[in-house]
Structure 1
Amino acid sequence: MNMQERFNRGSPFAANVISSLAYTHICTAASLLVWVSLDMLVYRKSSSSGMITGLVCITPGAGIVEPWGALIMGAMSGSIPWYTMMMLHRRSAFFQSVDDTLGVFHTHAVAGLLGGLLSGFFGRSDLLRMMHPH
């Protein structure tokens, strides 16, 4: 089963245990909630980039983390990339010289690195063996 099949619940074309283990919605919802909350607290307006960071973060761990792990990953992917995008980016001379209007570095590189690292912490080996029985 490849990454796309693990990420999308319906991709295995079956209603089975494996297709029910991709908790992408939990991570995405938590990330969006944290991102919007930080936006509202600091700037009094919101953006939806937290949805993207949640999806990017959970991709390496889709199907191998439990719901509580996906929730923690969502909280972290809503806060850490938010901080790098909204605080560090504005204060860094290096980031100011890079044309990243959409914040792709923060929403994809930071959240992706975070997802890879957190999948190592929260991933369960028995779920990984179920996905890749070799």
Structure 2
Amino acid sequence: MTDKDGLIFVIQKHHARNLHYDLRLEMQGVLKSWAIPKEPPTVEGVKRLAIQTDDHAIEYADFEGTIPEGNYGAGKVEIWDHGIFEPEIVKEKEIVFSLSGEKMKGKFVLVKTNFGKAKNSWLFFKKKE
């Protein structure tokens, strides 16, 4: 799924123990990844919790299939959306970017939070244009 015109993003719908969505952004030669417990925000005003997870290899952007029981992330994985990722601001606690996919279009923000005890919690939302 690599794109000659720029960086990529993919959102995989993951039917694991709990249904969630995996947001993956191509940065620094890998897919930086966040698990989103609810459907990603396609409109302004909707905010989602996003838990940062381990980076994945770029090749994982194409993965659809079933991860067998007994393996980490066991369950069905399908591509929910994909396209071009254009970073605007990339800081330790804030990432502002544009997505050009079929469902995810426009500017988005990931902001690091101190939500709960998790040190890997972010807030994910669509930014006003």
TM-score by length of 2: 0.23
Q: Which has the higher helix share?
A: 1
Give the number of the structure with larger relative contact order, counting CA–CA contacts within 8 Å between residues 6 or more apart: 1
Higher strand share: 2
- If you compute each CA radius of gyration, which structure gives the higher value, 1 or 2? 1
